[in-house]
Structure 1
Amino acid sequence: MENEVAHYSELAMNLVMLHGMNVLGALLTLIIGWMIAGWARKAVSRMLGRSSRIDVTLTSFLSSAVRYIIIIFTLIAVLGKFGVETTSLVAILGAASLAIGLALQGTLGNVAAGVMLLIFRPFKIGDFIDAAGQSGTVKDLGLFVTELATPDNVQIIVPNGMVWGASIKNFSAHAIRRVDLLIGIGYNDNIDHAIQQIGSVIDADERALKSPEASIFVGELADSSVNIVVRVWTESANYWPLKAALTKNIKHKFDEKNISIPYPQQDLHVITMTK
């Protein structure tokens, strides 16, 4: 009886020594891996944070992705301590990742496009853009979608894949923009006098920049009018207010100076046939 007890005690001690070392090694591996994952996340976040071109959202996403990748490999190493066939596990994870990637192909495409948008920054929050057939002010740029608000404050959600895969027109990218107007006068009006009056209206508005200089010239001799092209530079924020003000004030100035703005018309000639 005593021999059997001694035998089982020795067997239990051997098992404790064997698996105890495995458990200790697994715990040590897990702790070290967890610490490395946290350190790597902070290092990536700190490195990406130094660049003004990389958005905070992208920084958080990439640093978290690095952390989770290290944790996954740490768990695989821990399982290997207990005799689990990690090669088969890695193959299973790879196959599962492929299946998930195929199932979420569109979603992952939007994520990839979101990453590209956050890196290259073709626009930023607050810019007025035209992208994927939609126009509006950018309210939010995430990893999956871009949120726009139309001038009448309607929310538009556009998948990033559509935004990145099409041309992007950013109306707020540059500090100044050009206001283009087409003003028609009658054929009987004095062209030089009309151009002079348009110039006086532009000079009276402080929002019109002196440099680059405004351009005023005859664009075409149309069917019902002589069309004068007006090109004025202004700060981007003043584009619409200046355009509206110039249109209104030029009309008032023309009325004051008896310069006509003709509307489309046709001359009808009636020929009477007599016997």
Structure 2
Amino acid sequence: MMQWILPLALILGSLLAGLIFERFFLKKIKKLAARTDFFGYELIFEALHRKTLIWFFLGGLYAALLTVPLAPAISTLLQKIIAIVFLYTATLFLAKLAGDFVCLAGQKSKGGLPASSLLNNSVKTLVFVFGILMILQALGIPITPIIATLGIGSLAVALAFQDTLANLYAGLFLIISKQVKPNDYIKLTTGEEGYVTDITWRNTTIKELPNNLIIVPNKNLASAIFKNYHLPAKEIVFQVPVGVSYESDLDQIEQVTLNVAQEVMENVPGGVPEFKPFILYQEFGEFSINFTVFLRINEFFDQRLVKHEFIKRLHKRYREEGIEIPFPTRITYFKDFQQPKVENPTTGQTLKSWDS
């Protein structure tokens, strides 16, 4: 009975040490890290959650095994189990940490790779593969033949999953080339448009403004012609066509319109206050003189509200200034019109009017 006191004490002591470390020391270290400029320290502590307690317990269990007189075969088996559990939890920690760092780096770095589930899962898969190889090596299984077998079998896998691999490589190409990334607003040549929410190993998800989802296979998107409204920059200039009467004073029209446009840029959310709006007269239309107003917005979606407010305020200001926005009309003039004479074929009399 006495021989089990020390092993039990080591196990219970390791559990107590793990709890104290997580409850006190880990929190102290987190507070110290918060005072520094260390990038992504919260991700490390989040990935470490409960892992340190398991590692302390495994350490105490390993130490307890060394103090218990067991058969060599049983002792070796238990030590391998402890090593496997440790490697497994370490792999989970590293996989989560690597995936979260990739996402955080993509969100914070303008020039880095964009954050997406495809990149996140690819990094996690790579860490898991190395972790599995380490576990196999800990079990005494030679990994060299396994690697060679995987190399030979990859050809068969590539042939069997051509479509899946094509989407996978197309997704990686889209991410690495930075042609499109999550939160970009794109429009396909087929007419679909919306915000890119994610790029997975198989498809790209686009969220339309009515809150519908469009699923596009990565290989189709990589070979498609599409317009990205967030490249090379989110800010864009959009146009509003306007027409005024031929009787209008064009200098007054320009001044009034620019005043309204500048007011919209400064006061409406989505407008760029530093931008100076301008207008360009385009043509003498059938019933109006047409021109275009150029406004700048923070991103593509903002044009709806900015355009809405601009049209409302411009219409109100034109009415106050007595400026006419003409209706579509057409006037036909007849020069020296003479009513033709028409004879009645039965009586031979000349008709005096069209109603005769």
TM-score, L = length of structure 2? 0.55
2:203 to 141, 145, 168: 145
2:308 to 244, 253, 259: 244
CA RMSD in angstroms comes to 4.0
Q: Which has the higher strand share?
A: 1
2:125 to 55, 60, 64: 64
Report the counterpart of residue 157 of structure 2 in structure 1. Answer: 100
Give the 3 Å change call, closer, same or farther, for CA 189–132 of structure 1 in structure 2. Answer: closer
> Alpha-carbon deviation of 1:214?
1.1
Report the counterpart of residue 238 of structure 2 in structure 1. Answer: 179
- The answer on whether the counterparts of 2:94 and 2:127 sit within 8 Å (CA) in structure 1 is no
Report the counterpart of residue 267 of structure 1 in structure 2. Answer: 331
Deviation per CA, 1:209-266, whole angstroms, max 9, x where unpaired? 4533211221222222111211122322642211111112212222222222223333
- The answer on whether the counterparts of 2:116 and 2:200 sit within 8 Å (CA) in structure 1 is no
Between the aligned partners of 2:136 and 2:262, the Cα distance in structure 1 is 72
- The answer on whether the counterparts of 1:184 and 1:262 sit within 8 Å (CA) in structure 2 is yes
SS at 2:169's partner residue? helix
SS at 1:143's partner residue? coil
Between the aligned partners of 1:105 and 1:90, the Cα distance in structure 2 is 22
Report the counterpart of residue 200 of structure 1 in structure 2. Answer: 259
Between the aligned partners of 2:180 and 2:164, the Cα distance in structure 1 is 22
2:45 is the alignment partner of 1:45: no
Report the counterpart of residue 3 of structure 2 in structure 1. Answer: none
TM-score, L = length of structure 1? 0.69
SS at 1:193's partner residue? helix
Report the counterpart of residue 282 of structure 2 in structure 1. Answer: 219
SS at 1:224's partner residue? coil
Report the counterpart of residue 109 of structure 1 in structure 2. Answer: 166
Give the 3 Å change call, closer, same or farther, for CA 175–156 of structure 1 in structure 2. Answer: closer
Give the 3 Å change call, closer, same or farther, for CA 105–259 of structure 1 in structure 2. Answer: same
- The answer on whether the counterparts of 1:45 and 1:60 sit within 8 Å (CA) in structure 2 is no
Q: Percent of counterpart pairs with the same letter?
A: 23
- The answer on whether the counterparts of 1:132 and 1:163 sit within 8 Å (CA) in structure 2 is no
Return 5+ residue gaps in structure 2 as ranges.
1-75, 107-111, 342-356
Report the counterpart of residue 163 of structure 1 in structure 2. Answer: 221
Higher mean displacement: 142-151 or 55-64: 55-64
Higher mean displacement: 122-131 or 142-151: 122-131
Report the counterpart of residue 190 of structure 1 in structure 2. Answer: 249
Deviation per CA, 1:96-117, whole angstroms, max 9, x where unpaired? 4333322321211111121223
Return 5+ residue gaps in structure 1 as ranges.
1-23
